[in-house]
Amino acid sequence: MSELLPLIALLLGVGAVAGFTAGLFGIGGGAVMVPALFFAFDRLGVGEGVLMHCAVATSASVIIVNGWRSTSGHLARGSVATELIWPRPIGRNWWRSYALWIGVGAFVGAWWLAPRLRSDTLTLVFAVVAALVALQFILGRPSFTLRRSVPGGAAPPLVGSAVGALSAVMGIGGGSISVPLLSLCGVPVHRAIGTAAGFGLAIAVPATVGFVISGWGVSGRPPLSLGYVNLAGFALIVVAAWFAVPLGTKAAHRLSAVPLKRIFGVLLIAVAANMARKAGLF
């Protein structure tokens, strides 16, 4: 119990931070949760071969709740581009839905791609992408755009599935990828954040299902796991995140996100460096 109490406190604290960042930045909080879950599972003696898989899968499951809470809050404020999530009329334009293809990519990433990657490779992928995201948070200019609208045509299946697969492999909600992409396409920052929260929900549900299927019966997982998803870690983080998401959503519409994003980016650089060390890069 003396070892478990600090881990429980850690996961509760991580849940609060992840929930707040989910509402504030439109991200699912995976950049915070995955390293914390990795550390907690490592301390519990989870096998190295499945350590990172359990961390990213459990993070993905939490993002179902964070994404739903965050999307609901942003919808109430009219800051979600619903035409990108599900274009209307539905019957004729279903293939133009970014959320649909993001979900397809997320399922394939969790069910097929992630199990074929070694745990240290998965850790390294997380570290590299997290570092790139952190640099964008620190150096990115919200006013810079490449085009005036979000592309259609072949972009939804190609870009959407790529964002979904990469997000699932990393155990993140994809907001740290989709917010910059939407901003580059001329979407106002608050609308980009709200839409990214919806994308996070589209990632989390199929990714969680994929991780449950791909991890079913795999040895070395922590107790109380459903596939690669650890139910105890899910419950602890969700309890704290539940109350923190609305606070982040309110803050997103009251505060300038630029200084907060830069602070978060610096912290994320440190996290990425530590995960790269864990992967044996240095």
Q: What is the pLDDT of residues 38-54, one digit of tens each?
A: 999 998 889 989 999 99
Q: Which residue type is seen at 72?
A: S
**Residues 255-270, buried b or exposed e (16+ Cβ, 10 A)?**
eebeebbeebbeebbe
pLDDT level of residue 145 (50, 70, 90 thresholds): confident
CA–CA dist 43, 186 (Å, integer): 44
Location of structure tokens 């539905």: 90
Residue 106 has pLDDT above 90, yes or no: yes
Residue 141 has pLDDT above 70, yes or no: yes
Per-residue pLDDT tens digits for 173-226: 888 889 889 988 999 888 988 899 899 999 999 999 999 999 999 999 999 999
Tokens standing for residue 272: 């990425």
SS3 assignment, position 229 = strand
Q: Which of the pair, 1 or 170, is modelled with greater confidence?
A: 170
pLDDT at 110: 97
pLDDT level of residue 142 (50, 70, 90 thresholds): low
Q: Which of the pair, 165 or 95, is modelled with greater confidence?
A: 165
Instruction: Identify the CA nearest to 244 among candidates 44, 66, 51.
Output: 66
Per-residue pLDDT tens digits for 154-166: 999 999 999 999 9
CA–CA dist 179, 181 (Å, integer): 5
Per-residue pLDDT tens digits for 110-123: 999 999 999 999 99
pLDDT at 120: 92
Quick check: 249 and 73 in contact, CB under 8 A?
Answer: yes
Residue 234 has pLDDT above 90, yes or no: yes
Neighbours of 1 (CB within 10 A): 5
How many residues in total does the chain contain? 282
What average pLDDT is seen over the chain?
89
Percent of the chain residues topping a pLDDT of 90:
50
Dihedrals φ, ψ of 230, to 5°? -90, 120
pTM of the model: 0.90
Q: Angle at Cα 106 formed by Cα 100 and Cα 108, nearest 5°?
A: 105
pLDDT level of residue 266 (50, 70, 90 thresholds): confident
pLDDT at 69: 86
Residue 239 has pLDDT above 90, yes or no: yes
